[in-house]
Structure 1
C-alpha cells in the first residue's frame, strides 16, 4: 500500500503524527504530485492548523489548478474560520472543476445558511441530499432549509425520512412538531415534542413548545 493510503488510514485512526510522517515522505518522494499536499492540508485542517493547511492547498493548486479537492480543502479551511464568503468561492470552484460529491454541495449550501441566504442554499442542499440519501446531517439540514423556504409539505417528508434513518433524532421530532402546529394538529405536535424531550431532556425549544401546546389544550 502506498504512503498516501497508509497516511489516510492513520489519520482515520487518529494517529496524526504517523499520518503527518507518511504524507511528508510521500511529498518528498513525489514533490510534483498535488495529492500529497492535499492530504497534508486535510490533516492540518483536522488539527485546526488553518494557516499551514491553507499553504498546503495553495501549493497543490500551484502544481495542478484543476485539482477540485484542493479547492474543496481550502473551502473547509475558510468555513472553519467562519469566513463564509471566501469558503463559498472555493466550493464553487471545486464544483466547477468537476467535484460533484455530496460533501461539497452540502458545505456550499451551509455557507449560504450561515449568511441567511436560505433560498440560495436550497439547490445545493437538494443536490447533496440526492447524492447522499442516507446521510442524516445532510437530510436534516435539507429538511430544515425546505421549512425555512416555506415548503412545509416537502420539509415534513424529509424530516420523516430523517427519523427512518435515525429514530432518536430529537431535532427532527421537534421540527415535525412545528409542522403539525402549522397544520393545526396540536395532538400530533404534542406527541413529537414529547418524543424530542424523551430523546433529549435538555431540548429547550421542545420543552417550551410542549408547555405552550399543553396550556392551549387545557384552556
Structure 2
C-alpha cells in the first residue's frame, strides 16, 4: 500500500507589531476585556433590578388599591341608596374598568332605583353586548323591560338566560316577568316559584311572587311571600313596601304607615315612599302632616307626577282650591295628555263657580279618554280626598262615570310598585292599577 506523502509541519508564523505584541496576544486581551465588561455590567443589573422591581410593585399595588377603593365607595353608595352619588363615582373610573359587566350593572341598577328606566335599559343593553354570558343583574334588566313594556326584548332575554343556565334564579325571574307582561299570571307564578326552588334565599323572587299574588287577589299568599323576602333579607325595602300596600288596600292605615316608614328608613332617598306615607297620613286625618311629607317628596324629585297629583288632591280636599289649581297647572306641563289632571282641574273650577272652565276641562278629559276605561288612565279621585258634593253632577261627569259612589282610590291604583317616576310615555300616577303594574324594583 502506498502511504500518503508526508505533510510538512506547519509552524504558525506570528507577526510582530512595532510594540512587540503578537496577533494572538491581542485577540486574547480583547476577549478578557469583553469578559470583564460583561461581569461588571451583570453586577450593575443585579444591584439595580430589585430596586426597580420593588418600585414598580409598590406603584401597581397603590393603583390597584385606589381602584378598589373607588369601586367600594360607589358600591357602598348604591347599597345606601345614594344612587346619584354611586353613578357619579363609578362613571369616573378608567374606561377599561368602566366598560365591564360588573360596573355597568351597578350603574344600571342605580338608574333603575331612580326610576330612570330608559337610561337603565341603555346601560343593561351595553352589558349584554359586552358580556352576553352574564346572568348576575339580569333580573333587574328584565324588570326594567317590564316597566317599559318591551315585550319582544324581554322575551329574547328570558329565552337566552334560561338556555344559558337553568339553575340560576335570575333566568326564571326574567321568564316570570315575561309572562307577567303578557298577563299570564298563573304561568308567571310558576316561574317565580321555580326561581325560589333554585335558590331559596333569593329575596327578589319572593317579592316578585308576592306582586303576582296581589294581581290575582290572593293577598294572604302575597303577605307570606313578602314576609319570606324580609326573613331572607331584612333590608329588602321592596318587601316592606309590598306589605304596606296590602295593608293600605285593606284600609289598615296604621299598619300601612308603619311598614312604609320601615321601607323609608332603609331607602330614605325614595320620593315614592314619602308620597305613599303622605297619602296614608291623609287617610288618617293628618292633612297638614301629609302636606309636609309630600313637600319633602317633591324636593327629592321635583318632576315626580305622582307626588304633585297627590299634593293637589290633598289641597283640594282641604278646600285650598287656588293652591290646588296652581299645582295642577304645573302638573299639566309635565303630563299634558293625562285625562285625570283635566278632570281634577274641572272639579276645582266647579268649586270656584267657574262652570264654563269646568265644562271645558271635563270635555278635554273625555277627549283624552273617551271610554274612561283605558288600562293606563282609568282612575278617579278617591272620595277621601273630596268633600261631599251637594251640587248636581254635570252631564260630562255622568258620561265619564265619575260620581263618588263609583270612584276608585287613586292610591290603590298605584299598586304594589315603586316606579312613580315612570318614563314620560307612561303616565305614572294613572297607569298603576292593581291589575296592570306591581313592581317595586
TM-score, length of structure 2 as denominator length = 0.41
What are the Cα deviations for residues 27-53 of structure 1, in whole angstroms up to 9, with x where unaligned? Answer: 011101111111111111222211111
> How far apart are residue 147 of structure 1 and its match?
4.1
Match of 1:63 among 207, 222, 232: 232
Match of 1:115 among 275, 281, 284: 284
| Contact residue 346 and residue 362 of structure 2 kept, 8 A | no
SS in 1 for 2:200: coil
Aligned partner of 2:275 in structure 1 is 106
Structure with greater helix share of residues: 1
Aligned partner of 1:173 in structure 2 is 346
| Contact residue 197 and residue 207 of structure 1 kept, 8 A | no
TM-score, length of structure 1 as denominator length = 0.78
Unmatched segments (≥5 aa) in structure 2: 1-160, 162-170, 373-379, 381-387, 395-441
Q: Quick check: which has more Rg, 1 or 2? A: 2
> How far apart are residue 93 of structure 1 and its match?
0.3
Asked if residue 193 in structure 1 is aligned to residue 354 in structure 2, the reply is: no
How many matched pairs? Answer: 202
Asked if residue 133 in structure 1 is aligned to residue 303 in structure 2, the reply is: yes
| Contact residue 68 and residue 99 of structure 1 kept, 8 A | no
| Contact residue 321 and residue 348 of structure 2 kept, 8 A | no
> How far apart are residue 8 of structure 1 and its match?
2.2
> How far apart are residue 194 of structure 1 and its match?
1.6
Unmatched segments (≥5 aa) in structure 1: 211-219
| Contact residue 174 and residue 192 of structure 1 kept, 8 A | no
Distance 1:158 1:35 in 2: 36
Distance 1:9 1:125 in 2: 34
Q: Give the direction of change, closer, same or farther, for the CA distance of 1:10–1:99 in structure 2 (3 Å limit).
A: farther
> How far apart are residue 133 of structure 1 and its match?
2.2
Distance 1:25 1:132 in 2: 40
SS in 1 for 2:310: helix
> How far apart are residue 73 of structure 1 and its match?
0.8
What are the Cα deviations for residues 153-197 of structure 1, in whole angstroms up to 9, with x where unaligned? Answer: 54232111233324542122221443xx3xxxx5xx233222244
Higher relative contact order (CA 8 A, sep 6+): 2
Q: CA RMSD in A?
A: 3.1
The more displaced of 75-84 and 105-114 is: 105-114
Distance 2:298 2:190 in 1: 36
Distance 1:132 1:5 in 2: 32
> How far apart are residue 209 of structure 1 and its match?
8.5
What are the Cα deviations for residues 44-67 of structure 1, in whole angstroms up to 9, with x where unaligned? Answer: 122221111111111111111111
SS in 2 for 1:126: helix
What are the Cα deviations for residues 98-118 of structure 1, in whole angstroms up to 9, with x where unaligned? Answer: 163343222222212222211
